[in-house]
Amino acid sequence: MTEDTNLYGRATGLEERGRYRSFSGALDAALKDLTTEKNDFFDSLADRWSGLFPGLQAKPGRYEGGRIVLYVRSAPALFSVRPKLRTVKAKLAELPGAPAKIDLRLEIHSS
């Protein structure tokens, strides 16, 4: 029998595998560009967000299907931000380069 034979189904070649430590890390990296659309207006929001909405418990997360998804850390934060969405939307509409229709959604992300 040679050393290359793997009779017991053990993982071999661990050092030669890719740069990701786990399957979920590789999957996240593979799908990242597929799930995030590029939008100049949204990309500029991340830089200006803290100046526009100081103390707001939401931050721009992603732009998807013409919709801006804001991330919050918990369910209580989501419920505290929800009544402020109309004000956020109005302020975003005033910015240069803003789309004609702004659609906001909230999503809970713990990180």
Q: Tell me the pLDDT tens digit for each residue of 32-61.
A: 655 556 778 888 888 899 999 999 999 999
Flag whether 103 is in a domain.
yes
Task: Report the predicted TM-score, pTM, of the whole model to 2 decimal places.
Answer: 0.65
Question: Nearest Cα to 61, choosing from 74, 72, 52, 51?
Answer: 72
Residue 77 lies in a domain: yes
For 75-84, the pLDDT digits (tens) are 999 999 999 9
Structural domain includes residue 21: no
Query: In 3D, which of 49, 52, 70 has the Cα closest to residue 61?
Result: 70
Domain contains 78:
yes
Spatial distance between the Cα atoms of 80 and 99, rounded to a whole number of angstroms: 26
In a domain, 16, yes or no: no
- Residue 63 domain flag: yes
Does residue 30 contact residue 18 with C-beta atoms inside 8 Å?
Answer: no
- In total, how many domains does the chain have? 1
Mean pLDDT throughout 99-107? 92
pLDDT tens digits, one per residue of 58-70: 999 988 888 899 9
The verdict on residue 58 lying in a domain is yes
Q: How far is the C-alpha of 11 from the C-alpha of 17, rounded, in Å? A: 11
Domain extent, residue 47, equals 36-108
CATH number for 50? 3.30.300.180
